Structure 1
Amino acid sequence: MSKFTTVSNGELVTNNGIPPPVNWTNSYEDMGGDMFWGDGEQLEDEVRGRGIEGDIRPHYGMAPYTGEALYLFEVGSGQFFFFNAIDGSLLRIGGHSDLKSIVDILDDPDQGLPALDIEEV
């Protein structure tokens, strides 16, 4: 269990105080759990392999019913990334240093993911 999780309504969820955007989940198990987010596991290998240091804090993953394998997480304080587990791409989100502004864009039907400034790492 990650230090960035809590139990809510009997389910282990990410602990950031902001509800997930539409079609995203904060269920830690639906996001891969410790096998994906744990120390020395897949996401840490991907992040460290690109020279990025700091605590990795999971926030959300695309809901299982979407068929997508995209995850939103933070490294350190204020560096936000998407990881696509299908193609292994890691994308840094620029121009935003707080989770709420990113969630607001993802939730806006006139903006969404394409409205974010992202670059591959």
Structure 2
Amino acid sequence: MTTAAEFFGDPEVLDELVVLYGADVVSALVPAVMGMLVVREATASMDEKQRIFRTDLRYATLAVFRWIGDPAKMDRYLDQIMNEGIDTAQKKFPAVTAFLDGRFDQFFQEICAAFHIPESG
């Protein structure tokens, strides 16, 4: 059986994760890039601002992905990033909270019953 570490450490899996979750990273960068641009380029035309925005966003996105790929840098912030990610996952997926609280089996049984799905295993 493959462990999560082996699975997510596979370069092909990492390539797929960037495609799946890259938009989430970009969405977090957009407000910062936009805010800096508004202050820095107050006199530029709207077309010029749009061009600069896309260029800056591209640079910022690539910089973040390169940073994520550097284990030495990532390790400094890994606990904080994991905690924030777990908090976000808990807000989106009740199963995560149930798992962390030690109630996943009960949660799974309730879900199966609610959708009339026979439990396997």
> Which TM-score band applies after superposition, normalised by the shorter structure?
under 0.3
Larger radius of gyration: 2
More helix by percentage = 2
Which structure exhibits the higher relative contact order, with contacts defined as CA atoms closer than 8 Å and separated by 6 or more residues? 1
More strand by percentage = 1
